[in-house]
Structure 1
Amino acid sequence: MSNKVGYFLLSLVWLVQPAQKSGFHILLPASVYRTSCLSGNPSVPAKLSYTKSLRFNIYSFTIAASDSGRTRNLQVKAYRGALLLTNFTMLVDGPVMGAEVADLDSNRFPELYVYTTTDGSGSFGRVYAWQFLPERKADILLPAWQTPEVDGYMGHDSLWIEQSRLFRKFPVYRAGDANVAPSGGYRLTRYQLKPSKNGFALIAEP
């Protein structure tokens, strides 16, 4: 039996096994890629680089992202108890670096925040976010996120949630600074969640 035929049969044996009771994950040997709708086609293998499960009261979320390409496929599943509220896939810019669930506007409904960073030396941070209301999923917008009003911004964002705010921290570069040696200190910006048209927006505090 050739190596190719043996590998194909091994893949079939693993793929027909039932999923383990561990949320979204299906356990496969390291040499076999997971088959996932992240690729856009259930028959096309897609390797996952980021998976995470989160909980907020009776709500739970699973996040999974592919591991290659300038843009990545992100899949989000949201549940209220055992009820699947939504299951969607979208393209995001760069690899997923983290995810958090919070209630920044204190309305008792959860928001999901997914953080990505662009490939390359800049590592520009991005946030993709949604609030899960009883009747719908509402987008959370980030006005002017990519162009902070700070001279010397060159990416390298750190993002996290603390005390009902989303925090964004980045180094400030002066003329002549190398990419790895910023000399202008750091800038910290706090964002509040506010209603905006049919959704919500993260607004920078002055």
Structure 2
Amino acid sequence: MLKHIKYWLAYGCLAAGFAACNQMTEQKANQQDQANDTTRAPTPAPREDRPTFKLDTTYKDYRFSISTRGDATLRNLYVGIGTIKDSTRMDTIIENDIKGNVGGVAMADLDKDGQPEVYVFSTSGGAALNGRVYGLVIQKKGALKINTSEIDTLNVKDYQGRDSFYVQHNELVRTYPAFEEGQRNTLTTDTRKTIRYKLVKSGNGYTLKTQ
């Protein structure tokens, strides 16, 4: 009787071993099939959520915290606005899906009305490198977005991007390399064109316009 028990125990252990071995073989085969399956959608990379641009600064009686989050496909701009007198409170304005990388920020009061403005400058990706401006007028009741369509839709023959923006006195200044007809990516002469924009109040809004 004891011999029979030992026999069945040995047989059971051997059978369990075969079953475990078969299970491991099937798992490896399934993993290999998944690796070889080109019809499966690739696992998306995690979206970048750390700040890709960050600047904390002050202007007159205001505090500003400006940052961007996201990646090249979806990037949001956050403009935090507070006062120097109250360091515990800050309101945040969000501009969704901004184009390109933020490269600079300027604070100014171009129209000299006592209400400061925030200007955020970005450059689009790819070969174009077109410049864009996101502007806000800071009012006591909140922030008001500035119409920058004249800047964002510049359409002249010698323009191929690569802008630089800065504030000078009461104007927003844009410079870019002016390409002659037939030139593509390389300038044969070091020629830059300058465009100056004024902040103009129109109705209840504000617009940046050339003069």
Percent identity of equivalent pairs = 27
| Pair 204,71 (structure 1): closer, same or farther in 2 beyond 3 Å | farther
Counterparts of 1:131-170 in structure 2, within 5 Å, are: 131-148=137-154, 150-170=156-176
Q: CA deviation at 1:110?
A: 1.0
Tell me the TM-score normalised to structure 2 length: 0.70
Query: Which amino acid in 2 is paired with 1:148?
Result: L
Contact 1:71–1:94 (CA<8 Å) still a contact in 2? no
Give the structure 1 partner of residue 78 of structure 2.
Answer: 75
Query: Which amino acid in 2 is paired with 1:88?
Result: I
Give the structure 2 partner of residue 57 of structure 1.
Answer: 60
Task: Give, in whole Å, the separation in 2 of the partners of 1:66 and 1:179.
Answer: 30
Counterparts of 1:1-206 in structure 2, within 5 Å, are: 46-66=49-69, 68-81=71-84, 82=86, 84=89, 86-90=91-95, 91-148=97-154, 150-181=156-187, 183=189, 185-205=191-211
Greater shift in the superposed pair: 81-90 or 189-198: 81-90
Q: CA deviation at 1:198?
A: 1.8
Unpaired stretches in structure 2, ≥5 consecutive residues: 1-46
Larger Rg: 2
Task: Give, in whole Å, the separation in 2 of the partners of 1:138 and 1:175.
Answer: 40
Task: Give, in whole Å, the separation in 2 of the partners of 1:141 and 1:182.
Answer: 35
| Pair 67,150 (structure 1): closer, same or farther in 2 beyond 3 Å | same
Query: Which amino acid in 2 is paired with 1:171?
Result: P
Task: Give, in whole Å, the separation in 2 of the partners of 1:45 and 1:93.
Answer: 16
| Pair 198,170 (structure 1): closer, same or farther in 2 beyond 3 Å | same
Contact 2:48–2:70 (CA<8 Å) still a contact in 1? no
Give the structure 2 partner of residue 25 of structure 1.
Answer: none
Query: Which amino acid in 1 is paired with 2:158?
Result: G
**Residues 96-121 of structure 1: CA distance to partner in whole angstroms, max 9, x if unpaired?**
11111111111111100000000012
Higher helix fraction (1 or 2): 2
Which 4+ residue blocks in structure 1 deviate beyond 4 angstroms?
Answer: none
Q: CA deviation at 1:149?
A: 5.2
Contact 2:103–2:123 (CA<8 Å) still a contact in 1? yes
Q: CA deviation at 1:163?
A: 0.7
Task: Give, in whole Å, the separation in 2 of the partners of 1:182 and 1:53.
Answer: 40
**Residues 48-90 of structure 1: CA distance to partner in whole angstroms, max 9, x if unpaired?**
2210112111101000112521441111100023164521222
CA RMSD after TM alignment: 2.0
Aligned length: 162
| Pair 64,150 (structure 1): closer, same or farther in 2 beyond 3 Å | same
Task: Give, in whole Å, the separation in 1 of the partners of 2:176 and 2:54.
Answer: 25
Unpaired stretches in structure 1, ≥5 consecutive residues: 1-43
Greater shift in the superposed pair: 176-185 or 114-123: 176-185
Tell me the TM-score normalised to structure 1 length: 0.72
